[in-house]
Structure formats: structure tokens, C-alpha cells
Structure 1
Amino acid sequence: MKKNTSGPRFKALLEEAKITTTGFAAFWDTEAQNIHNWYTRGVPAYRMEEVARILSVNSHWLKTGEGPQDLAPLRVVDESGNTFNAQAIRGIYTVIEPVDVELPFYKETAKAPGSYKTHVVEDPNQSIRLPRSHLDALEVNPRDAICTHMIGNSMGEKIEDGSTLAIDRGLTQIIDGEIYAIEHDGMLRIKYLHRMPGNALRLRSHNKAEYPDEIFRAEQIEDQNIRILGWVFWWSTLNKRRPSVPFL
């Protein structure tokens, strides 16, 4: 697999076209800093084809520096069978991006009817739509994003019971103090995670008064099938009641 070294070429293309990072960021509805990060990190793989089309270059060349820089001619055929160069007809063309991303919904459910044993699986009858700009701002690949519901009040006052969550399955490395979704022997749990000596793991609730810290040794993590599903990057809470209007 070829290494992504697109950063310097991407920067040079923007400078050649006199496009600022702010201007390019506005097109994607994201922050200029995210675009500036591409100068060193490279254009994200899931954006490579789209960015290459917009800048009218070959995506393989943009990624690796190999092969021809220019795009292969885009041909269109009319009803009479005549072939035309689409770029020549359209001039500078724009790729229209979807505003929202539809994310699959996962939930904890019984493995079999009447069973107390559960697992976390996709519910094909549900999905959640989020603005693509939310994902782009945090550099979340849409293919890695899933949603679920918060169950219980262990994260109360931070994430209320019933809140909808979005999870980045592309980030499972533990960063101390961040919120993650985990599957604990088939049970869906949302916790702050902290690494501990000896490959141990500490689970911390926001509602620490009712839910004290839990520490699992490395062998317990394996024995109890504790698996990190991903980093929780978004949540939404609906107010549980509508306030009454006085003097009516």
C-alpha cells in the first residue's frame, strides 16, 4: 500500500490556484485549521478522490506523487453517439457534497428471545442523520461513524439517559479522560476511560456519586470480553418535559 504523501502537493496546488485554507475550508463547511493540517498529515484517504476532482488532478498522483498529474479526460456521449470532452464543455465544475451523513444505529439486544445474554448489533430499522460538517470538523471518517442511545444515568448531567450518541470506531486507542463506548460481555456502556499500569483499565462515570470507578486488570479485560467500540464524539439530549406557560 502506497504511503500518503499528499500534503506538500496539496499545499502547492492551493497556492498555485491562489486558494486560501479559509476559502477551501468554506467549501467543505469546516475549519481552516483542519485544512491546514492536511499540509502535514496529507489529505484524508476518504477525501482523496473528491479533493483531486475539485483540483483537477489525478488522485493517485496527489496521494503518492507517481503517475500523471492531470486527470484522464472525462468523456460524455450524447443521444446520437457523439463523444465530447466533459471538462471542455463545463469548464470549471463543482462536485456537490451531501449536507448530511446517514449513520447506522447500534443497540444492545438479547442474543435470543427470552435470553439474558446480550450483544451490541446494528438495528437495520433505525439510522441517524448528522451534518457532514460535524464529522469533518473532528476528522471522523463517515464510514467509521455509528450511533446508539445512552442507557441509564451513569453519565448523568453530562449525557442524560436516552441521549443519542455518535461514535467514531476509527479511534479505539485510549486517550485518558475521553469518553468511549465499550461492549462489556455483550453490555453497551458509555464511560470515561483511563489507562492503568499493567495494561489495566479504569472506567469512570460522570455520575461518580452513584457509580464508583471500576478497575479491570488485563486478564479481567480478556475474561470479561471488554471491547472498545470507539470514541464518543457527539451527543444530543431532548428535554424530558415542556415547561408550562404561566398566566394562561
Structure 2
Amino acid sequence: MTTTLGQRLKESRLKAGFTQARLAEAVGIKQASYQALESGKNTKSAYLTQIAKILNVDANWLATGEKPSDIDLKVQKLLENSTSPLLNDLHNNEGRVWVDVVNIRFSCGTGESIEFHFNEVLEQVSFDPRFFKRHHVKAENVVIVHATGDSMEPYIMAQDLFAIDKTDTTVKDGCIYAVYFEGEAMLKQIFKEEGGTLVLHSLNPKYSDKRVTSTNGKNFKVIGRQFWRAG
């Protein structure tokens, strides 16, 4: 059965577990540009080869619907397994930067001995290097986390991805941070008040603000500043 480019894109994207927003971000294009391809409004794109690589499908099949021949598959396998330094550089160094999607875990001791761990990697997402320059962050300082709960809706929905700079832990008034407080990790907008009190604000109005003071904030810790999210 003949399929359209949009149908092949959607099929491949769903199998790979990507939302349209996440795939567009990984490729480095606007979500609307990707939607135009999947909806059939556009039938050509210079990014199809890159999309095919991210979705782990054959680029020619994605573009034309034609399955590769046995010879094509054998040549591709030889290229993938080649020990040639040049071929390996071309295969591995295509200008994309891969960032871990992690589970944040923390361990607590006495006093303020709270440590955060990012070593449970769930998957990876790739970005154009310009993404990091645009957000004024270093790639090695960035981790991505799945949002849980609805306290930051509608800005961040449950199961959305959000990125934090784990070295940016000095609170700036009005910015959003991943923090540890009252025995759990959470994402909150933080406002500063006189006397050093911090207000942890949820964007969903059904949740009340939390206040961090010198009395209850002994183990309050900032994990990192949130600077990007994708649904």
C-alpha cells in the first residue's frame, strides 16, 4: 500500500516515542514546520535525512516510500560497522549534541548534606549547538527531566520535558527552578521577599504558595534553573 510522506513521518515518530514538539526541537526546526510535513501541507524538506536518523529509519524510504534493496542494506551495514576513522567521524559527529533525560534522585544525611544524582538515564535528546548558545548554557551542565504532577500547568504539563542548568543555583526573582523542599524534588517559580524568605509559586491556582524561611528552610536546596520545556 502506497503511503504519503506525512503518514510515514507520523508512523515513524510514534514508534520512536516522540511528540511533534520534541522531534522538531531535536531537528532544530519550528514545530509548525514539522507539522506542515506531517499534515501534508509540505512534501519536501532539507531536513528529511536528519529526521530519518533521529527516528532510526531509512532516509530514502522516508522520503519516497521505497524500501531499500538488499544490496543497499548490505552497503549500509558495512558503513555502520566500518573502522575507518573518517567514516566513524561522519557517523558520530554530525553537529548534534545529545543530552540525557534523567530521573532526579536525592540522598539526605544530617544537617544540609543533600546530594542529587542524575545517573538514571531514561533516554537522550539531541540539539543543535546553537540551542545552548541561545540559552546561554553549557551543554555539559544541562539535564532534561520528565515533569510530574500538574502544579505548573498550563506552562508545563505532566510528562512534558524540561531542561535545567544544574550549575545555575543562585535564585533570581521570578525564575523557575527545580528544588528540593519538604522531602521532595519539585519545580516552582521562586519570588524573593524581604528578610530572605523565598516564595515557591505554582502556576496552577489550585496549589497554594510555599514559603521557605530560616525556620523551615534548613534542607532547602536548588537543583537547577529551568530554561526550556517541550510538550
What TM-score, normalized to structure 1? 0.48
1:242 aligns with none
How far has the Cα of 1:199 moved from its partner?
1.8
**What is the number of residues matched between the two proteins?**
133
Q: Are the structure 2 counterparts of residues 229 and 98 from structure 1 closer, same or farther at C-alpha, using a change threshold of 3 Å?
A: farther
Looking at structure 2, the residues matched to 185 and 107 of structure 1 have their Cα atoms a distance apart, in angstroms, of 18
Structure 1 consecutive aligned stretches of length 4 or more whose deviation exceeds 6 Å = none
Once the two structures are superposed, what CA deviation does each residue of 1:44-66 show, in whole Å capped at 9, x if it has no partner?
A: xxxxxxxxxxxxxxxxxxxxxxx
Looking at structure 1, the residues matched to 148 and 122 of structure 2 have their Cα atoms a distance apart, in angstroms, of 19
1:233 aligns with 227
Q: Tell me, yes or no, if structure 1 residue 166 matches structure 2 residue 163.
A: yes
Task: Answer yes or no: is the 8 Å Cα contact 1:201–1:218 preserved in 2.
Answer: no
Looking at structure 1, the residues matched to 104 and 167 of structure 2 have their Cα atoms a distance apart, in angstroms, of 20
Q: Are the structure 2 counterparts of residues 120 and 148 from structure 1 closer, same or farther at C-alpha, using a change threshold of 3 Å?
A: farther
Identity of aligned residues (%): 22
How far has the Cα of 1:174 moved from its partner?
1.3
2:172 aligns with 175
The AA in structure 1 aligned to 2:131 is H
Structure with the higher fraction of residues in helix conformation: 2
Task: Answer yes or no: is the 8 Å Cα contact 2:116–2:223 preserved in 1.
Answer: no
**SS of residue in 1 equivalent to 2:174:** coil
How far has the Cα of 1:200 moved from its partner?
1.5
Q: List alignment gaps of at least 5 residues for structure 2.
A: 1-27, 29-92, 108-114
How far has the Cα of 1:124 moved from its partner?
3.3
Task: Answer yes or no: is the 8 Å Cα contact 1:154–1:205 preserved in 2.
Answer: yes
Once the two structures are superposed, what CA deviation does each residue of 1:103-124 show, in whole Å capped at 9, x if it has no partner?
A: 233324597xxxxxxx853213
1:147 aligns with 144
Looking at structure 2, the residues matched to 177 and 156 of structure 1 have their Cα atoms a distance apart, in angstroms, of 16
Once the two structures are superposed, what CA deviation does each residue of 1:5-40 show, in whole Å capped at 9, x if it has no partner?
A: xxxxxxxxxxxxxxxxxxxxxxxx9xxxxxxxxxxx
Aligned counterpart in structure 2 of residue 131 of structure 1, from 120, 123, 128: 128
Q: Are the structure 2 counterparts of residues 110 and 194 from structure 1 closer, same or farther at C-alpha, using a change threshold of 3 Å?
A: closer
Q: Which gives a bigger RCO, structure 1 or 2 (Cα 8 Å, sep 6+)?
A: 2
Q: Tell me, yes or no, if structure 1 residue 187 matches structure 2 residue 162.
A: no
RMSD: 2.5
How far has the Cα of 1:216 moved from its partner?
1.5
Q: Are the structure 2 counterparts of residues 109 and 172 from structure 1 closer, same or farther at C-alpha, using a change threshold of 3 Å?
A: closer
Looking at structure 2, the residues matched to 144 and 133 of structure 1 have their Cα atoms a distance apart, in angstroms, of 15
Q: List alignment gaps of at least 5 residues for structure 1.
A: 1-28, 30-96, 112-118, 238-248
Looking at structure 2, the residues matched to 125 and 158 of structure 1 have their Cα atoms a distance apart, in angstroms, of 23
Q: Tell me, yes or no, if structure 1 residue 106 matches structure 2 residue 99.
A: no
How far has the Cα of 1:229 moved from its partner?
1.2
Pair member with larger Rg: 1
